[in-house]
Amino acid sequence: MSSLKNSLAILLSLFPLLLLAGETPSFLVKENAVLDEFRGQYRSKISELSQNYIVHKTPHVITWRSHKGLGCGGRWQAPKTVLASISMATTGRIFRFELKGCNGRTLFVETYEATDSESVSLDNYLSGKIEMDNVIRYELKDESKNRIFELRKMNDLSSFKFLDQKIMEIYKQDKQWQYKALGYEASYSNGGFGFNVSMLFPDQRITINWEQDDVRIFDQDFARVPVNTFLTSYSHAVQNSTLSFVASIMKGFMKSLPSTEFVSSGGQNSRFLDDMRLAYTRLLNNLELNLVKQFIQDLIKYLEDGLLKVTDNRPENK
């Protein structure tokens, strides 16, 4: 356990240096990071389905069945009944993935349009390894064909929509990116779940340009601001508001899938692992770094206070 605390402490001490990694500024919010904010929980659920249920997979379809009877979707499901499935349909460079839950109900459909017909497969979809640089359009629709989220890339412009309302644009030039967050109003209703959202703020722009190690960030008044101001602005305008609404919709979809639990070799449940996955996603994409830092500090304190117990069976050289 002490080695884990030491590892966390080392990571925490190196935390400020993570902003400097990479050819482009590592804190830039990229398209895959935006999608990860609401798709991360879905990827984890897919992994847990394969741990908890019997998997049958072809190049275009994956299904999950139970070896015993259980309740799912408000009904009793007999053994070997298909409890969930993902099917892929391809038309040229357009790839459509349909998720079905208990009772064969379609929960949502994700569509990717890629630059070539080899960019997307069921395998890299399931593993979350679709190369977003090769994707020019992404779309998420529910079973009623409500368009929940959309990303379109055209030349140097990436445009994001939530419930058909434009929420953000990223304009990319060589060594300069500009982010524009837009105010909007929208409503959503599906199966008894719904909400109205009002984000009526003036359009906000932040521009980042760089030359080797010299990074300059400007607000819409052309005043220079630090990295933290950019990340905080993005969090308030997009991440903690709009993307949290998308995540809540995705969470609702997950309730129509069979129950799962991640079980490690030590018999621990998934809470700790889920928290680590979320922190890793944020760290990887340089989003909400203050929350990652606080999470690591909390872990160290919980270990020291005995509130978190870890059986560390790693080899000594790790």
Q: Give the model confidence (pLDDT) of 46-60 as tens digits.
A: 988 998 999 999 999
Which one has a higher pLDDT value, 29 or 311?
Answer: 29
Q: Mean pLDDT over all residues of the chain?
A: 85
Task: Give the mean pLDDT of 185-194.
Answer: 88
Task: Give the mean pLDDT of 187-200.
Answer: 88
Alpha carbons 210 and 176: distance in angstroms, whole number: 7
Alpha carbons 155 and 136: distance in angstroms, whole number: 9
- The SS3 call for residue 213 is coil
Query: Residue 317 — very low, low, confident or very high, per pLDDT cuts 50/70/90?
Result: low
Whether the Cβ atoms of residue 215 and residue 27 lie closer than 8 Å to each other: no
Q: Say what the pLDDT of residue 63 is.
A: 98
Alpha carbons 115 and 40: distance in angstroms, whole number: 24
The one-character DSSP state at 189 is E
pLDDT at residue 14 above 50?
no
pLDDT in tens, 127-180: 888 989 999 999 999 999 999 999 999 999 999 999 999 999 999 998 999 999
Alpha carbons 101 and 82: distance in angstroms, whole number: 9
The one-character DSSP state at 224 is B
Q: What are phi and psi of 205, to 5 degrees?
A: -125, 140
Whether the Cβ atoms of residue 59 and residue 86 lie closer than 8 Å to each other: no
Of the given ranges (47-61, 91-105, 250-264), which has the lowest mean pLDDT? 250-264
Task: Give the mean pLDDT of 225-237.
Answer: 90
The reported pTM is: 0.78
Q: Say what the pLDDT of residue 22 is.
A: 45
Q: Say what the pLDDT of residue 228 is.
A: 87
pLDDT at residue 20 above 50?
no
Q: Say what the pLDDT of residue 158 is.
A: 98
Helix H segments across 74-199? 122-127
Whether the Cβ atoms of residue 48 and residue 223 lie closer than 8 Å to each other: no
Query: What tokens were used for 147?
Result: 């368009």
pLDDT in tens, 57-82: 999 999 999 999 999 888 999 999 99
Q: Say what the pLDDT of residue 269 is.
A: 52
Q: Say what the pLDDT of residue 250 is.
A: 92
Alpha carbons 138 and 132: distance in angstroms, whole number: 9
Task: Give the mean pLDDT of 183-194.
Answer: 89
Query: Residue 267 — very low, low, confident or very high, per pLDDT cuts 50/70/90?
Result: very low
Query: What tokens were used for 293?
Result: 């830092």
Q: Say what the pLDDT of residue 276 is.
A: 77
